[in-house]
Amino acid sequence: MSEYAQYYEAFCQGYWANENADHCRCHGGGWALSEVDTWHRCPIHGHGVPHPEDRDNELAFEDWAKANPAEHALLLAEAEATAQARLVEVEAWAFRNDDDVPF
């Protein structure tokens, strides 16, 4: 079995999933993109979340959000918390390095 095949097989097992969305490869969004460019549903955060490459993804997500308001609210709260934490990290980096752009 090739190295890529081993990686793919391991990724399919969901070893990367973590209860904490900040540490999960899906970042709480329900899907993770592997290094071999394949999407995998998160076994923790991915229940009922539409695939990111669905043609009607926005409509599917809206339908899912309406059908699962509690899960949708939790997903939005996790995304907001993650965004705020990243903003704090970027601002701290910029302050330490006396730089406006952290890249």
Q: What is the pLDDT of residue 40?
A: 92
**For residue 55, pLDDT beyond 80:** no
Q: 54 versus 27: which is more confidently predicted?
A: 27
Q: For the residues 90-103, what does the mean pLDDT come to? A: 67
- Cβ neighbours for 96, distance < 8 A, ≥ 6 positions apart: none
Domain count within the chain: 1
Q: Beta-carbon neighbour count of residue 81 at 10 Å?
A: 13
Indicate if the pLDDT at residue 13 is higher than 70: yes
pTM above 0.85, yes or no: no
Question: Could you list the residue range(s) of the whole structural domain that residue 89 is in?
Answer: 3-97
Residue 57 falls inside a structural domain: yes
Query: What is the 3 state secondary structure string of 45-96?
Result: CCCCCCCCCCCCHHHHHHHHHHHCHHHHHHHHHHHHHHHHHHHHHHHHHHHH
* 57-67 helix and 69-97 helix, angle to the nearest 10 degrees: 120
- Separation of first and last alpha carbons in the chain: 38
pLDDT digits (tens, 9 = 90+) for 35-48: 888 899 999 998 88
Asked whether residue 103 is assigned to any structural domain, the reply reads no
Q: What is the pLDDT of residue 57?
A: 65
Answer whether residue 81 shows pLDDT above 70.
yes
- Note the Cα 28 to chain centre separation in Å: 5
CB 60 within 8 A of CB 50: yes
Residue 10 lies in a domain: yes
